[in-house]
Amino acid sequence: ALQLRHSLLQPRPLTPLAEAGHRLLAAEDLDLAREEGLAVWAYSALLWGSYERADKPLPATYDHPGTGRVLAVLDELARGL
Protein backbone atom coordinates (compact mmCIF):
# COMPACT_ATOMS: atom_id res chain seq x y z
CA ALA A 1 0.00 0.00 0.00
CA LEU A 2 1.01 3.59 -0.55
CA GLN A 3 0.16 6.13 2.14
CA LEU A 4 0.70 9.74 1.10
CA ARG A 5 -0.90 13.12 1.70
CA HIS A 6 -3.64 14.21 -0.67
CA SER A 7 -6.24 16.95 -0.77
CA LEU A 8 -8.24 18.73 -3.44
CA LEU A 9 -6.22 21.83 -2.58
CA GLN A 10 -2.64 21.65 -3.77
CA PRO A 11 0.29 23.78 -2.58
CA ARG A 12 2.11 26.15 -4.91
CA PRO A 13 4.48 24.16 -7.12
CA LEU A 14 7.99 23.65 -5.79
CA THR A 15 7.18 24.94 -2.30
CA PRO A 16 8.13 22.79 0.67
CA LEU A 17 5.40 21.48 2.92
CA ALA A 18 5.34 22.82 6.45
CA GLU A 19 5.57 19.25 7.74
CA ALA A 20 9.09 18.17 6.84
CA GLY A 21 9.40 14.66 5.48
CA HIS A 22 5.86 14.46 4.14
CA ARG A 23 5.12 14.08 0.46
CA LEU A 24 1.99 14.65 -1.58
CA LEU A 25 0.37 11.97 -3.71
CA ALA A 26 1.37 12.50 -7.35
CA ALA A 27 0.00 11.16 -10.63
CA GLU A 28 3.05 8.90 -10.89
CA ASP A 29 2.15 7.33 -7.54
CA LEU A 30 -1.33 6.50 -8.82
CA ASP A 31 0.16 4.98 -11.98
CA LEU A 32 2.50 2.81 -9.89
CA ALA A 33 -0.31 1.70 -7.59
CA ARG A 34 -2.51 0.77 -10.54
CA GLU A 35 0.28 -1.18 -12.29
CA GLU A 36 1.33 -3.03 -9.13
CA GLY A 37 -2.16 -3.58 -7.69
CA LEU A 38 -1.39 -1.48 -4.61
CA ALA A 39 -3.93 0.23 -2.39
CA VAL A 40 -3.60 4.00 -1.98
CA TRP A 41 -4.37 5.53 1.41
CA ALA A 42 -4.50 9.32 1.62
CA TYR A 43 -4.23 11.33 4.82
CA SER A 44 -4.71 15.02 5.67
CA ALA A 45 -7.41 15.13 3.00
CA LEU A 46 -9.26 17.86 4.90
CA LEU A 47 -6.09 19.80 5.77
CA TRP A 48 -6.63 19.65 9.53
CA GLY A 49 -10.02 21.38 9.29
CA SER A 50 -8.82 24.29 7.15
CA TYR A 51 -11.63 23.90 4.63
CA GLU A 52 -14.21 25.02 7.18
CA ARG A 53 -12.70 26.18 10.47
CA ALA A 54 -11.74 29.84 10.85
CA ASP A 55 -9.32 28.90 13.66
CA LYS A 56 -7.40 26.60 11.27
CA PRO A 57 -6.26 28.83 8.37
CA LEU A 58 -4.64 27.25 5.35
CA PRO A 59 -0.84 27.23 5.39
CA ALA A 60 0.72 29.99 3.26
CA THR A 61 1.90 27.49 0.64
CA TYR A 62 -1.76 27.02 -0.39
CA ASP A 63 -2.23 30.77 -1.03
CA HIS A 64 -2.52 30.95 -4.83
CA PRO A 65 -5.32 31.51 -7.39
CA GLY A 66 -6.04 27.81 -7.82
CA THR A 67 -7.04 27.49 -4.18
CA GLY A 68 -9.69 30.18 -4.53
CA ARG A 69 -11.14 28.49 -7.61
CA VAL A 70 -11.34 25.08 -5.92
CA LEU A 71 -12.94 26.54 -2.79
CA ALA A 72 -15.50 28.44 -4.90
CA VAL A 73 -16.53 25.21 -6.66
CA LEU A 74 -16.78 23.37 -3.34
CA ASP A 75 -18.99 26.15 -1.92
CA GLU A 76 -21.24 25.96 -4.98
CA LEU A 77 -21.54 22.18 -4.71
CA ALA A 78 -22.27 22.39 -0.98
CA ARG A 79 -25.08 24.90 -1.57
CA GLY A 80 -26.69 22.39 -3.92
CA LEU A 81 -26.89 19.68 -1.26
Cβ(58)–Cβ(47) under 8 Å?
Answer: yes
Q: Residues 60-64: what's their mean pLDDT?
A: 90
Is this structure's pTM higher than 0.85?
no
Q: What is the mean pLDDT of the chain?
A: 88
Range of the domain at 39: 2-79
Q: Give the other-Cβ count within 10 Å of 64's Cβ.
A: 15
Condensed to tens digits (0 to 9), the pLDDT of residues 3-55 reads 888 888 988 888 877 766 678 888 999 999 999 999 999 888 788 888 888 89
Mapped onto helix, strand or coil, the DSSP state of residue 39 is coil
Domain count along the chain: 1
Task: Output DSSP code: residue 40.
Answer: E
Asked whether the predicted pLDDT for residue 80 surpasses 70, the reply is yes
